[in-house]
């Protein structure tokens, strides 16, 4: 099974473990992800509120490139729409939203294509089907095929599946799960042998980029999610979005400092758990790059953890009281 692949900016940097673990589990599942060449940032979630036309043109360029590179692969006879897969929830939202709205607003489509024309591109709305990676795993691969690859059961782990607020709503390309209480990730983790805990806040917002706008709001949103997972004695939170992973992992200590808590819940991507269950080493799936150490959870599986990263010295920067400091990832190259 072959798919177009839009990694987005996060998977090139702080969510590199998401990309590497996906590629590691794709091979045994017979999946091929062909990265769209020369893709650009999708604009995250805020740019569309700043300049709608520019935001749609920015995303439209990615869709145009994907269509240009993927449709010829159909040998001139397009039996079905090519699938463009985005592992990042924000990228998935933007790509699917623009694909949908360009098909509904002819005037907007003309303006976007006029902008794309400067780069020799154009896009016909609906030429592609935009899908999230979780959708592909549970609906194309299926739970049985995933379970068949398991050589190391995750039965010793209690996992809290966290979807975030973007993946299953509003569903521009058709929902693949319930918008209020999704269960597809729950079922996937059970197929890996894990104990999946009840997690009522599984589809609630982590705050997104609110960490850079309001510490009060952001930390309270993150605290609620951490408390919910801790209340159900989860060993780990499992997510499918780089922004969610960053917020819950990187700002966990800030939550502890502000609220007097002591949460130490590692937050990993679902593809990393798939890789572990498939018998891959922690290093092969990027475990060790998270900030809240996953070593205690790995110990329950009897898996040798990766060596701890040496702390990286950082230059002191002037604190901007209007936002939270962005954390440094372990062994991240300093610029």
What's the start-to-end Cα distance of the chain, in Å?
39
Mean pLDDT of all residues in the chain? Answer: 90
321 in a domain, yes or no?
Answer: no
311 in a domain, yes or no?
Answer: no
309 in a domain, yes or no?
Answer: no
Q: Are residues 161 and 39 in the same domain?
A: no
Q: Are residues 66 and 189 in the same domain?
A: no
Q: Are residues 129 and 238 in the same domain?
A: no
Q: Are residues 124 and 164 in the same domain?
A: no
* pLDDT at position 307: 76
Number of neighbouring beta carbons within 10 Å of residue 76: 7
Is 168:124 a contact under the CB 8 Å cutoff?
A: no
Calpha distance 95→63 (Å, rounded): 7
Q: Which of 106, 133, 160 is the last residue of a domain?
A: 133
Number of domains in the chain: 2
Calpha distance 58→62 (Å, rounded): 7
Which two tokens mark 277? 């269950």
Calpha distance 139→133 (Å, rounded): 10
332 in a domain, yes or no?
Answer: no
Q: Are residues 89 and 118 in the same domain?
A: yes
Burial class (CB in 10 A: 0-12, 13-18, 19+), 147: middle
Question: What are the C-alpha distances in Å from 302 to residues 155, 202, 268?
Answer: 12, 28, 18
205 in a domain, yes or no?
Answer: yes
Q: Are residues 118 and 18 in the same domain?
A: yes
Helix (H) or strand (E) run with residue 25 in it = helix 16-29
Please, which residues have CB within 8 angstroms of residue 313's CB and are 6 or more apart in sequence?
Answer: none
Helix (H) or strand (E) run with residue 267 in it = strand 267-269
Residue 115, CB half-sphere, CA atoms under 13 Å: how many?
17
Q: Are residues 192 and 86 in the same domain?
A: no
6 in a domain, yes or no?
Answer: yes
- For helices 215-231 and 252-259, angle between their N-to-C axes, nearest 10 degrees: 100
In degrees and rounded to multiples of 5, residue 127 shows phi and psi of -65, -25
Q: Which residues of the chain have pLDDT under 70?
A: 72-80, 309-335
Q: Are residues 162 and 259 in the same domain?
A: yes
Instruction: Please give the residue range of the domain that contains residue 93.
Output: 2-133
CA angle 173, 148, 188 (to 5 degrees): 40
317 in a domain, yes or no?
Answer: no
The SS3 assignment for 34 reads strand
**Residue matched to tokens 């951490």:** 226
Residue 22, domain CATH: 1.20.1050.140
């Amino acid at each position: 099974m072959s798919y177009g692949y839009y990694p987005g900016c996060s998977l090139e940097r702080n969510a590199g473990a998401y990309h590497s673990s996906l590629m590691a589990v794709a091979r045994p599942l017979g999946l091929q992800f062909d990265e769209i060449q020369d893709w650009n940032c999708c604009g995250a979630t805020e740019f569309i509120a700043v300049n709608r036309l520019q935001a749609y043109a920015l995303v439209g360029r990615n869709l145009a490139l994907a269509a240009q590179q993927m449709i010829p692969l159909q040998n001139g006879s397009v039996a079905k729409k090519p699938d463009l897969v985005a592992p990042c929830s924000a990228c998935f939202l933007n790509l699917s939203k623009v694909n949908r709205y360009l098909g509904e607003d002819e005037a907007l489509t003309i303006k976007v294509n006029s902008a794309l024309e400067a780069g020799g591109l154009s896009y016909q709305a609906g030429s592609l089907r935009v899908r999230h990676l979780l959708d592909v795993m549970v609906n194309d691969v299926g739970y049985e095929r995933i379970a068949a690859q398991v050589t190391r059961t995750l039965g010793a782990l209690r996992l809290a599946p966290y979807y975030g607020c973007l993946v299953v709503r509003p569903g521009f390309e058709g929902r693949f799960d319930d918008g209020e209480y999704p269960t597809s990730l729950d079922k996937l983790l059970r197929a890996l042998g894990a104990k999946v805990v009840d997690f009522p806040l599984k589809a609630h917002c982590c705050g997104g980029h609110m960490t850079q706008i309001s510490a009060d709001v952001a930390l309270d949103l993150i605290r609620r999610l951490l408390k919910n997972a801790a209340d159900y004695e989860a060993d780990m939170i499992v997510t499918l979005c780089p922004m969610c992973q960053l917020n819950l992992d990187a700002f966990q200590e800030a939550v502890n400092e502000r609220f007097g808590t002591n949460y130490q819940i590692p937050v990993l991507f679902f593809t990393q758990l798939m890789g572990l269950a498939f018998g891959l080493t922690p290093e092969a799936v990027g475990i060790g790059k998270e900030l809240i150490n996953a070593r205690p959870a790995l110990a329950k599986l009897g898996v040798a953890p990766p060596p701890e990263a040496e702390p990286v010295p950082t230059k002191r920067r002037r604190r901007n009281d209007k936002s939270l400091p962005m954390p440094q990832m372990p062994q991240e190259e300093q610029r």
